[in-house]
């Protein structure tokens, strides 16, 4: 068993850092406390096995959108056994300070959300204009398709009419040619027939 004392520097006060330290310490079953120092740093005291303390020391060096750890000064010594769990110690004036910090973050969040809504509304307006333009173009396409359909229908009727006339012409021509051929054939065979005269007795 060892006792770890650490001074953590960076953006570590009023950003939820101590709560994260408490969660990690309790996960590793360490005993001790974490508290803010007046100079903006955080003091951590933890007791436990060396391997758990080494994991804990790596885990408290974190960075996220709010928290930034710049440096950790670590000192190891024999444990005192004075803690039965791991606790966050808050100062007397921290509540007012935390409310002020929360107000600042809330204002920043409101600005971000408002800007986001403005951007979204602008993009939706732009999209609406594009949709209106597309609707006009679709109307033009539909009108063009209707004209094409009318022309196709007129052409179909004209083709059907021409086919009927052609069929009639072919029939008339064929009948006429057949009649002439028949007449020619009859004429040729009529000449070739020997004339038979029957004398009356």
Give the catalytic positions in this structure: 18, 36
Contact 86, 22 (CB under 8 A): yes
Q: 10 Å Cβ neighbour count for 86?
A: 25
Distance CA 158, CA 89 (A): 96
Q: Give Cβ neighbours of residue 67 (< 8 Å, ≥ 6 apart).
A: 10, 11, 12, 15, 16, 17, 20
In this structure, the dihedral spanned by the alpha carbons of residues 55, 37, 104 and 20, taken in order and rounded to 10 degrees, is 20
């Amino acid at each position: 068993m060892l006792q770890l004392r650490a001074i953590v520097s960076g953006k570590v006060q009023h950003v939820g850092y101590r709560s994260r330290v408490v969660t990690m310490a309790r996960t590793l079953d360490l005993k001790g406390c974490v508290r803010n120092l007046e100079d903006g740093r955080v003091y951590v005291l933890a007791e436990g096995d060396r391997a758990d303390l080494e994991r804990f020391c790596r885990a408290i060096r974190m960075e996220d959108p709010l928290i930034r750890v710049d440096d950790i000064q670590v000192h190891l010594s024999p444990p005192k056994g004075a803690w039965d769990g791991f606790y966050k110690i808050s100062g007397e004036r921290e509540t007012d300070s935390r409310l002020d910090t929360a107000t600042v973050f809330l204002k920043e969040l409101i600005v971000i959300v408002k800007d986001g809504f403005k951007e979204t509304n602008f993009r939706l307006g732009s999209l609406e204009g594009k949709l209106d333009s597309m609707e006009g173009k679709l109307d033009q396409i539909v009108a063009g398709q209707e004209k094409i359909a009318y022309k196709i229908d007129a052409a179909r009727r004209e083709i059907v009419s021409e086919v009927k006339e052609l069929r009639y012409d072919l029939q008339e021509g064929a009948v006429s040619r057949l009649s002439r051929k028949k007449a020619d054939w009859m004429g040729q065979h009529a000449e070739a027939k020997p004339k038979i005269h029957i004398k009356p007795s």
